[in-house]
Amino acid sequence: MDLIQKKLLEQVAGLHEIPEGAYNIRANGEKLGRNTTANIDIVSKTDKDGIDIIIKPGTVNESVHIPVLLSQSGLQECVYNDFYIGEGADVTIVAGCGIHNCGVDTSKHDGIHTFYLEKNARVRYIERHYGEGDGNGENIMNPQTIVHLKEGAYMEMETTQIKGIDSTVRVTQGDLAEGASLEIREKIMTHGKQYAKTDFRVDINGDNSSVNLISRSVAKGESKQEFFSIINGNAACAGHSECDAIIMDDACVTASPQLTANNIDANLIHEAAIGKIAGEQLIKLMTLGLTEKEAEEQIINGFLK
């Protein structure tokens, strides 16, 4: 691993070195390293680019890291990763993509992640996206996450895109069986002329299942963000989505939530708020001795924390 790749790895996976436990590191379209454990197997796909991650039933307190690094300008790839989580397993999965583009060509990573959670499986899924570069090449990422939750399964998903991605279309789809629950928290900050779109669609099919989607974003400069969410309540279930955006400068934010209840006992809520930083928040922090710019930074950092 060279220095650039090490830095990307730290940004997307919080890792300084090769992680413990199971991992698969992909750099510039090649397998850079892989480790499997007694309970977690990682197998390369033969029909297309990507891997299968197979976690045995009952596996607990284990983690899988699958970072993707792109440091070769102009590299474009589409990767399929499938996760099979056995019954009763409880694991943490850290994925992420870091792009360093120092050329003039567009670098692009499209990752399609499909999760199959068996009964009562639990997954904490963390995904980070980061881009940097000193050239004029664009960094594009289009992550797709598809989750299938069987009875009693639980998945918590945390996605963060703070810096350097010029264009992203993030698609998340899910279906939930009885007693399953899905929590998604996304944090996005865009600046310059960046574009970010969130497209969320979930079918809540089982009784006593629930979905909670929380999106917080900051749009600066001339960036553009779009938030679409569709929640279909097909059973006695609970669905909640919340989209909260701070708009600055000449940015543009669209929030378009859609709720459909197909069952009398479906309880669905959406909250959306778009606005600039409240003047009184700035004033409060300025009375504590911060300049207006420092106050703004504190408010944004807190908001996206």
Partner 1 sequence: MLELKNITYEVEDNQDNKEILKDISLTIGDHFVAVTGPNGGGKSTLAKIIAGIIKPTSGQILLDGEDITELDITERAKHGISYAFQQPVHFKGLTVKDLITIAAGKPMTVSEICDILSEVGLCAREYVDREINSSLSGGELKRIEIAMITARGTKLSIFDEPEAGIDLWSFNSLIRVFEKMRDEINGTILIISHQERILDIADKIVVIADGQVRTVGTKEEVLPELLNTAETCRTLTDKM
**Is residue 303 part of the contact set for partner 1 (CB under 8 A)?**
yes
Query: Please, are residues 252 and 227 in contact by the beta-carbon 8 Å criterion?
Result: no
Positions in 225-244 near partner 1 (CB under 8 A)? 244
According to DSSP, the β-strands at 40-44 and 50-55 are antiparallel
Interface stretch with partner 1, choices 20-28, 88-96, 224-232, 289-297 (CB under 8 A) = 289-297
Nearest 5°: the CA angle 42, 46, 50 is 55
289 contacts partner 1 (rule: CB under 8 A): yes
Q: Which residues pair with 66 in a beta bridge?
A: 95
Choose the binding region for partner 1 from 123-131, 168-176, 202-210, 288-296 (rule: CB under 8 A): 288-296
State yes or no: residue 288 binds partner 1 (CB under 8 A): yes
Interacting residue with partner 1 among 2, 250, 292, 297 (CB under 8 A): 292
Nearer residue to partner 1 within complex by CB, 123 or 219: 219
Where helices occur in the chain by DSSP H, the ranges are 3-13, 279-287, 292-303
Distance CA 71, CA 66 (A): 16
Q: At 180, which amino acid appears? A: A
b/e per residue, 47-85, with b = 16+ CB within 10 A? eeebbebbbbeebeebbbbbbbbbbbbebebebbbbbbb
Rank residues 207 and 244 by Cβ distance to partner 1 and give the closer one: 244
Least gap, CB of 291 to partner 1 (angstroms): 5
Residue 212 touches partner 1, criterion: CB under 8 A: no
* Cβ at position 210, least distance to partner 1 in Å: 20
Least CB distance to partner 1 at residue 58 (A): 34
Q: CA–CA distance from 182 to each of 107, 146, 216, 267 (Å)?
A: 32, 12, 17, 15
Name the residue nearer to partner 1 (CB basis): 1 or 214.
214
Q: Toward partner 1, which CB reaches closer, 30 or 302?
A: 302
Our CB check for partner 1 shows the closer of 76 and 291 to be 291
The smaller minimum CB distance to partner 1, of residues 40 and 184, is found at 184
Question: Please, which residue, 78 or 214, has the CB nearer to partner 1?
Answer: 214
Q: Is 218 in the site for partner 1 (CB under 8 A)?
A: no
Least distance (Å) from partner 1 to the CB of residue 10?
A: 24
d(CA 299, CA 98): 26
In contact, 299 and 292? CB cutoff 8 Å: no
Q: How many residues does the chain have?
A: 305
Binding site for partner 1 (CB under 8 A): 216, 244, 278, 280-281, 283-292, 298-299, 301-305
